[in-house]
Chain A
Amino acid sequence: MADSDDEYIGSSGDERGKRASNSRKQKGAGDAGKERWEEIQRSWDNVVEGADGSISAAVVGLLEQNKRKRLLKDTTPLQRGIIRHLVLVLDLSIAMEEKDFRPTRFLLQLSHACDFIKEYFEQNPISQLCVIGMCDGLAKRISDMSGNPVEHISAIRKLRANGVEPKGSPSLQNALDMARGCLWNSPTHGTKEVLIVFGALHTCDPGDIHMTIKAMVQDKIEVRIVGLAAQVAVCSELVKKTNSGSLAGYGVAMDEKHFRDLLMANTTPPPTRQANTNASTLLTMGFPSRFSNPGHPTLCACHSNPITSGYMCPRCMARVCALPTSCPACSLTLILSTHLARSYHHLFPLANWVEVARHDVKKRSPKLCFSCERPFPKLAALPPSSTVAATGDLATKRTSNAPVPGVKAVPSISSTGRYACLDCGKWFCVDCDIFCHEEVYNCPGCEADPEGKEKRQREKEALAAKETAQTGQSSAAQGDAMEIDG
């Protein structure tokens, strides 16, 4: 098909199928005549020799860049759906027997699904999950909608133990219908989501899938897909229609790590779309206190198991063994304040720290990281910015080809190894940066030195006031805290 190349160049309204046009749209800034498969990326171009002939500086730079890559998430405080109802759809079709992901796609999918469930309930303790499988043209229910991670993980393990092997073709329509049914009873104040892991390139449906898609849109269910083979047209249509035209929810995995990243990106609560503003309600919840009677077991109301310590529903005094749950007697949602607290960092995210540019590092600048007191590397020992920028660009190109939803491309990494918080002005090292943004969600500088932070705030305000007086224009208006993403 040597002459098909000429046909592609320059012609946009092509009827070669949506796939070709999609791929061309995603080339972005690539050359006009080249296909994506023609743009070869040589990984050895990333490694550049430093001035002394060794590549250690470039290696250090690459390591740092890897560390920071996943950090640069969008951290404007968005309104997010905290109470989530997610249906996880696993692909159990014959296409999952492929061994391009070690050991097989099927096994990797199951192990990542278990990790996903654990992480999901850690990040969203008051949410619920349900697991469905697409096997042999049918949709099989693997576990029911519940808020208990152990149930789901043991159901998946049982699947493996019972020797279920991938078989047949996947049926997207059946899975979507079953998911719709699972989400039927979920209340409006929560989100309704479906996450599909799709490894095949076709679907085998009993009816018209477009009707199903229309029904999903009507029910305000959002669908996100992680593809394993290639982009499938019907999947992208599904995602686009249910997410108000945005294709950010559909990602195709390039390697095992990328697969995991795509899957795990769904643990963070999704930003609320404009369509769902009527989801704001006031929920009645109970905060039970713990009781313990060692030696005098009583029965728990949810499973009828004997327990010696548990929680008492404040409204009806029924005893339950574990939280969060809904009281079996009066249907009141019972949670601990810690469960709510787990989700606060999504609503009040920690702002990203900016790299300190080379020219800002002066003699009197801090020489130690503020939180862990590790000395910063000397400027002379670091690779010059030109080398780093080159590698940065190559990496940018690579990451932008496989967008992980919610992650911006890496602009360039710091050539100084110092990162500053904009609120309190303190400098930190790269390890503290990762630690604070991924695990603690607190800025040590803002917490440990609130007076310094206040001082800096006042200075900034004074500066802004001066600018306003000078220019007469208002300084950049602060966005509304509850910005709604489109």
Chain B
Amino acid sequence: MDRVDATEHFAQHAQGDLPSLLVLIIDINPIPWTTNPLSTALPFNTALSNLLLFLNAHLAFSHTNKVAVIAAAAPRGGGAKILYPAAELPTDTKGRPQSRPPQPAPQPGEPNKYRPFKDLEEGVLAGLGKVLASVNEEDDGTDRTVVSETRIAGALTLALAYINRLAGAGADNLGQTLTKGTGTTEAGTMQSRILVVSVAGDVASEYVPVMNCVFAAQKKHIPIDVCKVAGNSVFLQQAADATGGVYMKLDAPNGFLQYLMMAYLPDPAARQHLVLPTQANVDFRAACFCHKKVVDVGYVCSICLSIFCTVPPDNICMTCQTKLAHTVGGMVVRKKKKKKAGTATGSGAGTPTVGTPRP
């Protein structure tokens, strides 16, 4: 739209900073945290206090910034649990939210803290305490052996659902950078991102749910940042790459706080101006379903899309149990057909052609 020119009597007022939501997913799988080398380089307590400081820093940026914390690999449940914000107490009969529990009044002269920071820290620690205490709950017969891989799909799904609730359904991160400074801050203008602090590898059976989450995040332009303190995860690499997030494998875990402050703190608006660490080569190759080894050239069943490294025995697909047509060197033999008009293109190729067909 052509605006009338040359009538700015006041200096261009800076665009109000948009509120930003950070969802932190902490991997609390005990095996990596309690074994060397991580337990000496970065003990869990230190890591937790660094993370709390990082969250405070995020809140310090702006009055409207928000934080949520989710724990992955929780002992009870095995998947994920929201630690902070704690579940809202339902409104009482008059519709007003119930007052928060009375807090012990601090002594005069006692050091105090900026209230939102205090609430955050207490909330996270309380939630974490509850989750860890649930280890001692009674057993009910489910198999609870702790594995050294972490299930991440549940945490990602919870994070996305929470973002969806806060940012409003149909909201889109990109949408706000296009609106000018008269931005409203009701639901629909919240910029969000997810940060995963991961210490373990992937659970292979989670491939489909994790990819579903990644595509949903990609569609809503929510970057998934990954801070790999230990372990190796291909899914998270692909997630960060597909959504435009930052992926870093920490070489020096004792510098955890500085890594967080520098690479993971800038919000999506500031990231436009900064050069961020990227991954040069993400391994997008698939793992075959039969032997779990990485394949370069594989065979794909056209019904269920499962990948095999060699032709399966008896030509029967392992997942969907359908008999597959006989393949000759990867190409399907096809009978020549009488054509209506025009040229014949002979044997059908096993691969879709891109050229111009003639009618």
Contact = CB atoms under 8 A, between A and B. Distances in A.
**Are A and B in contact, CB atoms below 8 Å, in the complex?**
yes
Interface string A275-287: 0001111111111
Given A184-B345, A185-B345, A447-B79, A372 B165 contact: yes
A99 interface: no
Nearest to B215: A342
B7 to A, nearest CB: 33
Nearest to A215: B340
Chain A CB within 10 Å, residue with most, of B87, B350, B352: B352
Interface string A337-373: 1101111110110000000000000000001100111
B164 interface: yes
Nearest to A178: B359
B164 A432 contact: yes
Contacts of A190: 302, 352
A326 B324 contact: no
A252 interface: no
A383 B181 CA distance: 41
A282 B302 contact: yes
A82 B306 CA distance: 12
A181 B213 contact: no
Interface string A289-303: 111100000000000
B160 A440 contact: yes
Q: How large is the interface on B (under 10, 10 to 19, 20 to 34, 35 or more residues)?
A: 35 or more
A146 B332 CA distance: 21
Contact of B324 (A281, A286, A444): A281
B183 to A, nearest CB: 23
Contacts of A85: 352
Nearest to A428: B161
A280 B354 contact: no
A482 B296 contact: no
A372 B169 CA distance: 12
A284 B325 contact: no
A444 B157 contact: yes
Contacts of A452: 77
A165 interface: no
Contacts of A442: 153, 157, 209, 212-213
Given A285-B300, A347-B305, A442-B157, A181 B286 contact: no
B350 A187 contact: yes
Contacts of B164: 372, 431-432, 435, 439
Contact of A338 (B144, B242, B307): B242
Contacts of B91: 375
A310 to B, nearest CB: 12
Contacts of B325: 189, 278, 280-282
A287 B298 CA distance: 8
A266 interface: no
Given A282-B301, A283-B350, A338-B242, A435 B169 contact: yes
Interface stretch (B26-34, B188-196, B315-323): B315-323
Contacts of A289: 281, 283-285, 296
B295 interface: yes
B298 A285 contact: yes
A449 B160 contact: no
A442 to B, nearest CB: 5
Interface stretch (A19-27, A328-336, A464-472): A328-336
Interface in A238-291: 278-291
Contacts of A375: 88, 90-91
B353 A341 contact: no
B208 interface: yes
B93 to A, nearest CB: 9
B358 A283 contact: no
Contacts of A236: none
Nearest to A284: B330
A343 B299 contact: no
A332 B77 contact: no
Contact of A186 (B140, B144, B352): B352
B169 A434 contact: yes
A180 interface: yes
A106 B75 CA distance: 58
Given A338-B238, A448-B158, A181 B351 contact: no
Interface string A147-188: 100000000000000000000000000000110111111111
Consensus secondary structure, chain B interface? loop
Given A83-B302, A188-B332, A343-B305, A333 B79 contact: no
Interface in A308-339: 314-315, 325-326, 331-333, 336-338
Contacts of B215: 341-342
Interface string A415-434: 00000000000000001101
A30 interface: no
B330 to A, nearest CB: 3
A440 B212 contact: yes
A190 B154 CA distance: 34
B262 interface: no
B88 A368 contact: yes
A358 B15 CA distance: 49
Contacts of A398: none
A461 interface: no
A18 interface: no
A340 B332 contact: no
A280 B301 contact: yes
Given A287-B298, A344-B211, A482-B303, A372 B161 contact: yes
A448 B169 contact: no
B76 A281 contact: no
Chain B CB within 10 Å, residue with most, of A326, A331, A442: A442
B177 interface: no
Contacts of A177: 340, 359
Interface in A43-85: 79, 82-83, 85
Interface string B322-335: 11110100111010
Contacts of A434: 169
Contacts of A447: 79-80, 151, 153-154, 157, 209
Nearest to B341: A181
Given A368-B87, A373-B162, A185 B353 contact: yes
B284 A336 contact: yes
Contact of B352 (A147, A292, A344): A147
Given A188-B334, A280-B302, A442-B209, A286 B296 contact: yes
Contacts of A378: 90
Contacts of B126: none
Chain B CB within 10 Å, residue with most, of A85, A177, A282, A443: A282
A62 B74 CA distance: 39
Question: Which 9 interchain pairs have the tightest Cβ spacing?
Answer: A181-B359, A448-B154, A284-B330, A314-B296, A337-B286, A447-B154, A371-B161, A448-B79, A372-B165
23 contacts: A122-B219, A144-B357, A187-B351, A280-B303, A280-B325, A282-B299, A283-B351, A284-B299, A289-B283, A338-B211, A345-B208, A367-B90, A368-B87, A432-B164, A434-B169, A436-B161, A439-B216, A441-B212, A442-B209, A442-B212, A447-B209, A448-B158, A451-B76
Interface of B: 76-82, 85, 87-88, 90-91, 140, 142, 144, 151, 153-155, 157-158, 160-162, 164-165, 169, 207-209, 211-216, 219-220, 238, 242, 280-286, 295-305, 307-308, 311-312, 315, 317, 320-325, 327, 330-332, 334, 339-340, 342, 345, 348-359
Given A145-B354, A449-B154, 20 more contacts: A79-B303, A85-B352, A128-B354, A144-B355, A144-B357, A187-B349, A188-B334, A279-B302, A284-B350, A285-B299, A289-B284, A340-B305, A344-B212, A373-B87, A374-B88, A375-B91, A431-B165, A441-B216, A447-B157, A449-B78
